[in-house]
Structure 1
Amino acid sequence: MFRRPRAVLDRLFDQPWPAGGLLVGGAARDLLRGVTPGDYDWAVPDTAAAANVLAQAQGGAAFPLDQERGYWRVHLPNGAQHDFVPLPDDLNADLLRRDFTVNAMALGAAGQLHDPTGGQADLQARRLRMVSAHNLQTDSLRAWRAARFEVTLGFRMDAATEQAVREVTAALAAGRLPLPAPERVREELQALLGHQKAAQGVLRLEELGLLALTVPELREGIGMQQGGFHHLDVFRHGVEALHQLLARFSDAPLPLRWATLLHDVGKPHAHMLSGGQNFYGHDKSGALITREILTRLRLPGDDTARAASLVGAHMLPLPQNDTEARRFVHRRRALLPDLLALMLADREAARGAMSSPASRQSYAVALDRVLAALEEQPAPPKPLLTGSEIIALLDIEPGPQVGRVLRALNEAAALGNVKNPEQARAFVQKWAQHPPTDEAKDELHK
């Protein structure tokens, strides 16, 4: 019998308990350690009936995942997800096929605990222990899950489990075991990066040999010294930047976390192209590499594009006056405020010989200047002229020139230099009479 009083169990668990059902796996683990689960896994005698009863009681939606095997799922309005599978004929055998002892437990409605591997003792000791080495080899994704659980649960692998994880990693690297599907690895990495101690998790992946199987491009920065503002090698600097980001912005979205970790991933390539002289252009090559990495891991397209754009923009010079700040906001509005968070984390992770409290303060002042401009103009001004109006005003054909004029006009409006349609028409006519040079055009497109 589970030691926690039934009254406490009732307080932690406010859903109807399915008739004859058992709460299994991670949901049972979380409930036993006093944490309300977000997702629930149930083993029940009648999956369809249990799913529909819960959905009707909580106003959710029930639907079959696999009708042949009797798998059902319920989505509730509070965001919780409940999965229902048939109650196994041999519960202990089912639990013994799981990954770690803390996940090989089942909890009944009256608080009775099924724990064939000693998971409750490991839970109390904050110990991550495998059910068996065979189980880890059967599903190699469990190596990544072990690293993730150490971070998200605050547990530590025992020696035998860590050795088994290292053996799985070596077998994967040698091709003796197949790599898990990229989508499954992505889910583990996203869960790890979503935690407050994500930087620690990245280092743990490296210790276990898993980073080389996941994001080998990051490892190219190991031992690559930078000097100047930097006190860490390229790899450690990226990890430290992630730490600095989460110390200041605990709710940072995942694309920003990825961008911060990967922001200097282009440096080894840039260093090679320069003959070992500098890192010029690492922001642009880093954006391309970031896109390749996240595409390989099957991240959503929008998240991949945003992370790559942030990496590509992280070296932009910060404005030195209010006008430049308004221009910065206008040109990079789609990346704000995430870009500022990345730039701040990058600078705070650099404490080399050229860095000083004064230089970091100056950088912070420039960031504040951009934030003030963003607060002053949180949305772009309403367009003063349309493309059709510009075509009519200048008597030109539709084409690229119309876009160039519109961009120039919209920026002038954002800077406060053009405030109404009359001024906009005058601006467009003057612009057409004295179009900018190619260099100025390039500057406008940055």
Structure 2
Amino acid sequence: MTDSIRFEGGMGEGGMEIVRRLAEAGHAAYFVGGCVRDALLGRAVKDIDIATSAKPEAVLELFPNAIPTGLKHGTVTIPLRDWQYEVTTFRAESEYSDGRRPDEVVFIDDVEGDLERRDFTVNAMAVGADGRLVDPFGGRRDLAAKMLRAVGDPAERFGEDALRMLRFVRFAAEYGFAPDERTWAEAKAGAPGLAAIAMERVFGELSRMIAGADPYRALRLLAESELLRWTKERLRLPRELGLAAGVSDDPLPRLARVPDELARWALWFDRMGLGPEEADRACKALRTSGAFADAIRRTLGLHAHLRGAPEAAARRSWITGALRYGEETSRRWLALAAAAAETEPYGWAARYVDSGPLWLAEMSARTLKELAISGADVLAAAEGRKAGPWLQALLQRLLEHTALGELPNEREALLAQARVWLAESDGRKRDGI
């Protein structure tokens, strides 16, 4: 862990400029929170927050281009070069009667008083322009010990904002921290408090866990704590969250190998036994975007389509699945399968991992737009038929045969085949079939 705490280059350089300008104007100013933690760990700093004794009005006067993003809570956002910096006045907070936000915010002049309101000791450190570390709660010691501990009384911290219990799980998993025994006990005891938290905030934390460095550990901690049983809206997830206790061939420990976050979610949902519709209900409860829910639904739909196919029909199943669920979904599923196929429950997926990319590349058409004919072409050859559901069905049939290599993607060949099928359809109608 570095002894020299400096924020230099890129975002750090802009942050230093802001801290120095505030100091030159007679205000105390510090880097605070996650950027200090990550700098001490030697990790890349992605966000910089600054705390200051200056009131918001004074910050706005010093930085005329600043944006008053949260004046009630003392926060302004300063755009500088290619970055944006949140600058917040030192503050103390009153009771959290709703378990989500303080009833009142009071501006103070003391950085240690500001750090006292923060969640965990590793996030309750500050660094001034001179590089001096302010660490009243032993955050640096806990970093060295890889320990995650609440600032002060953990029951109070979790009572102030119940989302901190999920943040506790996320930080423990992301940084490989061991949960402090007392803090962890209070997190589990305080789980019912999550009923006060908006589902969008719950999803935000879960999303960071699943996309993080060790999603499997996050799931283990969630299962142990049973936090997700207490959310505002019931998620209807199995108690074990899909974890196979004592099974060495469980694919979930391989989640971190999956490069696509949506594919990680799909694998987790599948391990919990959730099909497309059940997963869709969970997404709705979590208030995910429609695009997120659709991607999960499609990925699980393709998964079910492929899992039930006999090995002899693997190529046909893959191509028809790609047509039905889309190329993007097919490539996302391959990211899932590449990790899971190494385990016995997903061994059947290995043939798709090996051949799926080649089969996709060989498809001469993947969508109706890529077909060499259009609906207008078919109507012109249909001798007076009116457009209707039959037209879409015929085009999809042409697309499937073309994608499978059974028809060339050439206008005349496709029109000829369309005429054959139309004649067959007319013949069946005449015969009353």
Q: Equivalent residues in 2 for 1:24-423 (5 A)?
A: 24-44=32-52, 45=54, 46-48=58-60, 63-67=67-71, 69-74=73-78, 81-87=84-90, 88-131=108-151, 132-133=153-154, 134-169=156-191, 171-172=192-193, 178-214=195-231, 217-219=236-238, 233=244, 240-247=250-257, 249=258, 251-252=259-260, 254-266=261-273, 286-317=275-306, 320=312, 324=316, 325-334=318-327, 335-350=329-344, 360=347, 363-377=349-363, 380=366, 382-394=370-382, 395-416=384-405, 417-423=407-413
Q: Is the 8 A contact 2:32 2:50 kept in 1?
A: yes
Partner of residue 441, structure 1: none
Q: Is the 8 A contact 1:27 1:40 kept in 2?
A: yes
Partners of 2:201 and 2:63 in 1: how far apart?
Answer: 26
**CA 1:398–1:75: 2 relative to 1, 3 Å:** farther
Q: Is the 8 A contact 1:291 1:304 kept in 2?
A: yes
Task: Kindly state the Cα deviation for residue 14 of structure 1 after the two structures are TM-superposed.
Answer: 3.7
Deviations along 1:325-378, one digit per CA (max 9) or x if unpaired, are 544433443311122333454543436xxx9xxxx4x75234322221113348
Partner of residue 272, structure 1: none
Q: Is the 8 A contact 1:25 1:103 kept in 2?
A: yes
Q: Which amino acid aligns with 1:31?
A: A
Partner of residue 424, structure 1: 414
Q: Which amino acid aligns with 2:120?
A: F
Task: Kindly state the Cα deviation for residue 413 of structure 1 after the two structures are TM-superposed.
Answer: 2.4
Q: Which amino acid aligns with 2:87?
A: F
Partners of 1:29 and 1:410 in 2: how far apart?
Answer: 55
Task: Kindly state the Cα deviation for residue 322 of structure 1 after the two structures are TM-superposed.
Answer: 8.2
Task: Kindly state the Cα deviation for residue 312 of structure 1 after the two structures are TM-superposed.
Answer: 2.4
Q: Is the 8 A contact 2:120 2:150 kept in 1?
A: yes
Deviations along 1:166-214, one digit per CA (max 9) or x if unpaired, are 2212x43xxxx74311111111111111113101110111111213235
Q: Is the 8 A contact 1:237 1:350 kept in 2?
A: no
Q: Which amino acid aligns with 1:375?
A: A
- Say what the alpha-carbon RMSD is for the aligned residues: 3.3
Q: Is the 8 A contact 2:188 2:226 kept in 1?
A: yes
Deviations along 1:288-327, one digit per CA (max 9) or x if unpaired, are 1111111111111101111122122212235636862544
**CA 1:213–1:408: 2 relative to 1, 3 Å:** same
Q: Is the 8 A contact 1:330 1:380 kept in 2?
A: yes
Q: Is the 8 A contact 2:148 2:177 kept in 1?
A: yes
User: Structure 1 unaligned runs (5+)?
Assistant: 54-61, 224-231, 268-285, 439-446
Identity %: 27
Deviations along 1:206-231, one digit per CA (max 9) or x if unpaired, are 111213235753325679xxxxxxxx
Partners of 1:349 and 1:217 in 2: how far apart?
Answer: 26
Q: Is the 8 A contact 1:63 1:72 kept in 2?
A: yes
Q: Is the 8 A contact 2:146 2:178 kept in 1?
A: yes
**CA 1:402–1:74: 2 relative to 1, 3 Å:** farther
Q: Is the 8 A contact 1:256 1:342 kept in 2?
A: yes
**CA 1:108–1:379: 2 relative to 1, 3 Å:** farther
Partner of residue 278, structure 1: none
User: Structure 2 unaligned runs (5+)?
Assistant: 24-28, 91-107, 429-433
Partner of residue 15, structure 1: 14
Q: TM-score, normalised by structure 1?
A: 0.76
Partners of 1:431 and 1:238 in 2: how far apart?
Answer: 53
Q: Is the 8 A contact 1:73 1:82 kept in 2?
A: yes
Query: Would you say how many aligned residue pairs link Structure 1 and Structure 2?
Result: 383
State the secondary structure of the residue aligned to 1:89.
coil
Q: Is the 8 A contact 2:39 2:45 kept in 1?
A: yes
Q: TM-score, normalised by structure 2?
A: 0.78
Partners of 1:51 and 1:415 in 2: how far apart?
Answer: 62
Moved more, 374-383 or 308-317: 374-383
Q: Which amino acid aligns with 2:351?
A: V
